[in-house]
Amino acid sequence: MLRSWLLVSVVALGVLGACDGVEDRPAAWSYLHAAIISPTCATASCHSNAGALAGLDLSTRESAYVFLVGRTCEAPPHPGDAPGNFVFPYDPERSRLMYLLRGDETTVMPPDVPLPEVEIALIERWIVDGAPCN
């Protein structure tokens, strides 16, 4: 009995841990917003529609993309910079969002519980890929 319980536990941990790597999850905007931005940044006390701190409304996929990238999803890429320089497509080192997520500035975002490294790496991969609205 104990042996079968241990085997089930090891298999379950292997399955749960299989999706922990950055390469196991999509670097697509629709996934990033639904799995990371919305539940951790667009909360009632932070960047929601009701309480958009620093003027950032990250509550919907569309508004978050506009604020972070500086254009709508339907608009073609343009050479201008995003308002606040939050995301520079293809260049995470110029993207203010990366500095905030890593805590390289005076403030780390989100302030209560920083994002896990795997989620920060996923957002970085999205920026390196050009920050597409997919």
Tally of domains in the chain:
1
> How far, in whole angstroms, is CA 10 from its chain's centroid?
30
Confirm if 50 and 44 have CB atoms less than 8 A apart: yes
CA separation for the pair 15, 17 (Å, rounded): 5
Whether residue 110 has a cis bond before it, omega within 30° of 0: yes
pLDDT at 22 over 70: no
pLDDT digits (tens, 9 = 90+) for 55-84: 788 889 998 999 899 888 888 776 665 666
Structure confidence at residue 30 as a pLDDT band (50, 70, 90): very high
pTM for the full predicted model: 0.76
Reported as type and span, the H/E element at residue 6 is helix 2-17
> Is the pLDDT higher at 18 or at 81?
81
Answer yes or no: is 8 within a domain.
no
Domain that holds residue 66: 26-128
Answer yes or no: is 68 within a domain.
yes
CB atoms within 10 A of CB 129: 14
